[in-house]
Chain A
Amino acid sequence: MNFQCKNCGGNMVFSPKMQKMYCPYCDGTDCEEKRGDASVTVCYSCGGEINADEVTSATKCPYCGNYLILDPRVEGEYEPKEILPFKLSKEEAVTAMENEFKKRIFTPNSFLSEKTLENLEGMYVPFFLYDFKSDADYTAEGTKTRHWRSGNYRYTETSYYEIIRKLDVDFKKIPADASVKAPDSVMDLMEPYDYNANVSFDPKYMSGFNGEVYNAPAGEFIERAKQKAIKSVNTLINDSVSGYNTVTKVSSNVSLDNDNTEYVLFPVWVYKYSWAGKEYVFHVNGQTGKVVGTTPVSLLKVFIYGITKAGLTWALVEMISRLFGGLVS
């Protein structure tokens, strides 16, 4: 499907700034008309062949530039329960990256340049949100020590305690991305999303962006969510143990019961930057603006900055040491 402007027939996209459907051709808003089509290989607008892989759910036609949403990938079992619409516009994503990286003086000149920013694209990443009921048992031995001195002797008193904890936790919506392409470590760092802004799924929010359908069933990704829950339980228990000099764990067991799972789409801006034959990928949370990525280092810049700093410092120290000869001998 795609969304056409009722006024001028142009391709309408979702505008994060206005939080409305917008026509870039006639500036019309919320005047979209949905045109459906079951094809996942041909553009509904121009008939051109689209290069969609088996997990693509939204893309841009390489011929006419219209944004398409592939109906079979957002319907039936593939229909997300909710979607978190993009809040950050493209310009705001660029600003977020500029702010994050403005102090990185060793990044190459072309980094975040207008030309390379053409490679910045919005992407709806599939996520499963898992609910868990957990109960945890934990026992440990703790010691408290006290020291004092009397005459020529030093005394140490050690008190031993048995630490017992039983903790029940109700976890709601622990996310795990259901995209093989999206790196897990980066997606984890994108968190947290504010779920209050989630809305019931409507394909119109995907117009103007790329998107993926979940790459495998929910069971394939549950382990990552479980690990997050276990880590959280362990932290809560550890935080409840205090006042001891040493704590030795005796037993620990966390059981998790998954009572609900939801399929949702979350917004991420992706900036691909190539430098010195290597591709660097940066991700910006499309809701919060949080930036994750590793910047390349230009050795030429390191050299120029280094030589300048070292040269100026040398000149300064040399002159001061000659002026006040006492500094060096």
Chain B
Amino acid sequence: MNKRTVKQFIKSNIVLAVIVLIVFGYYMYKKPSIPRKTDEVTEYVSGNTERVYGDKRVFDYADELTDKEEEDLESYIHEVEKEIGNDIVIVTLNESLKEYAEDYCKRYNMEMVSPDKYVMLYADEFWEVNKFGFDEPQILDGTQNTGDGVILVDNLFREPETGRIYTWMGTTGQAELRYSSDEIDHALDVFYDNLDEDYKHGLMTFVTQVRFDLDTEIVDLAFKPFAIIVAGLVLLIFVLTHLKSKSGKVTTTANTYVSPGGAKFVVHEDRFLRKSVSKVYDPPSSSSSSGGGGHHTSGGGGSHGGGGHSR
């Protein structure tokens, strides 16, 4: 390699290399604290010290569980939380939640919220007010960076408008990122399928499902195809843009060899011949729209995902 080649090579890569070094420095300084599925898991401790109810995760306001059942469920949740790095909160209710909808409508100047969404509004507010979230409480900035966890709200009260029982599974932070609408539906199906047998069993199965869903995603730290794809694209674009090997473009024009004033139009005429008009029946089309997914923003401005079922 001669001096010119080395110089060219350094010049071509220096900017990217410096950026990589800076990011590497920052990366080492602030390694992401995602738990690993290894033996160290038991040492992993939640960073959130601001939860209003401390270690409490089961809020059985409908009184569907015995004290013993509540205790069992809670200790199981604690065990799972350490493993998946997400809070799991269970709330049972037996009351109308219409007032939450009224507050929400007033704040956002909306006419109404359908009864199946009452549980959603309750879940969002319960999560935010009580400062849940595994690493830290949710910061209401509209991002999914904080407040990792899942909440299940099961309201046994039958709202008079529909006479149905509504359940909501809310996801926040990492859980929102990792849960698709289909997976939320599936987790709620699992809950409904098992709750007839025994209410506690339904809740335990739901927690197990969350454990399965979040655990399998969270351990994937080693290899991200996204980075490989981006690197491949950059490689392709870089090579293609530099592969140009031809040089020399046409630099003459139509007038290059015409003597000054040497081009004369003896005839330059555009003669109108005829005209025709056609018409087509084409009434204005009506517009259509389609609905979105589970993502929404809470009354407080926090980002939540989720989905609901009723029975």
Chain A contact residues, CB within 8 Å of chain B: 100-101, 103-106, 109, 113, 135, 141-142, 149, 152-174, 186, 188-189, 191-192, 228-229, 231-232, 235-236, 239-240, 290-297, 302, 304-306, 308-329
| One of B5, B232, B256 near A192 (C-beta < 8 A) | B256
CA distance A296 to B143 in the complex (A): 51
CA distance A328 to B259 in the complex (A): 65
B228 proximal to A (CB < 8 A): yes
| One of A165, A167, A232, A309 near B238 (C-beta < 8 A) | A309
Residues in B with CB closer than 8 Å to A189 are 248-251
| One of A157, A231, A294, A324 near B246 (C-beta < 8 A) | A294
Instruction: Tell me if B235 and A318 are in contact (CB < 8 A).
Output: no
25 cross-chain CB contacts under 8 A: A105-B8, A157-B275, A157-B276, A158-B276, A158-B278, A161-B270, A161-B273, A163-B270, A167-B264, A169-B263, A169-B264, A236-B263, A292-B248, A293-B246, A302-B243, A305-B238, A309-B16, A309-B238, A312-B13, A313-B231, A314-B228, A319-B27, A321-B226, A325-B34, A328-B227
CA distance A152 to B269 in the complex (A): 38
B68 proximal to A (CB < 8 A): no
Residues in A with CB closer than 8 Å to B2 are 109, 113
Instruction: Tell me if B245 and A169 are in contact (CB < 8 A).
Output: no
Q: Are A235 and B254 CB-contacts (below 8 A) given A171-B262, A309-B235, A326-B143?
A: yes
Residues in B with CB closer than 8 Å to A329 are 177-178, 217
Top 6 A-B pairs, shortest CB-CB distance: A292-B248, A170-B262, A314-B231, A235-B254, A166-B267, A317-B227
Instruction: Tell me if A171 and B23 are in contact (CB < 8 A).
Output: no
Instruction: Tell me if A228 and B257 are in contact (CB < 8 A).
Output: yes
Residues in B with CB closer than 8 Å to A318 are 224, 227
Query: Distance (Å) between the CB of A94 and the closest chain B CB?
Result: 13
B53 proximal to A (CB < 8 A): no
- Nearest residue in A to B226 (C-beta to C-beta)? A328
Given contacts A160-B273, A305-B242, 6 further A-B contacts (CB under 8 A): A106-B243, A169-B264, A192-B251, A229-B257, A236-B263, A319-B23
CA distance A322 to B30 in the complex (A): 10
Query: Distance (Å) between the CB of A143 and the closest chain B CB?
Result: 10
Counting contact residues on chain B (CB < 8 A from A), the size range is 35 or more
Query: Distance (Å) between the CB of B276 and the closest chain A CB?
Result: 5
The residues in B between 257 and 285 inclusive whose CB is less than 8 angstroms from any CB of A are 257-259, 262-284
User: What are the interface flags for B280-306 relative to A under an 8 Å C-beta threshold, 1 for contact and 0 otherwise?
Assistant: 111110000000000000000000000
Q: Are A172 and B262 CB-contacts (below 8 A) given A166-B267, A290-B248?
A: yes
CA distance A104 to B278 in the complex (A): 56
The residues in B between 5 and 36 inclusive whose CB is less than 8 angstroms from any CB of A are 5, 8-9, 12-13, 16-17, 19-20, 23-24, 26-27, 30-32, 34
- Nearest residue in B to A171 (C-beta to C-beta)? B257
Residues in A with CB closer than 8 Å to B112 are none
Residues in A with CB closer than 8 Å to B264 are 167-169
Residues in B with CB closer than 8 Å to A155 are 277-279
CA distance A291 to B232 in the complex (A): 33
CA distance A135 to B280 in the complex (A): 45
Q: Are A313 and B230 CB-contacts (below 8 A) given A167-B264, A186-B248?
A: yes
Q: Are A171 and B258 CB-contacts (below 8 A) given A160-B273, A320-B23?
A: yes
B221 proximal to A (CB < 8 A): yes
| One of A161, A294, A309 near B272 (C-beta < 8 A) | A161
- Nearest residue in A to B280 (C-beta to C-beta)? A154
Instruction: Tell me if A172 and B267 are in contact (CB < 8 A).
Output: no
| One of A163, A232, A236, A293 near B247 (C-beta < 8 A) | A293
CA distance A305 to B5 in the complex (A): 11
Query: Distance (Å) between the CB of B211 and the closest chain A CB?
Result: 18
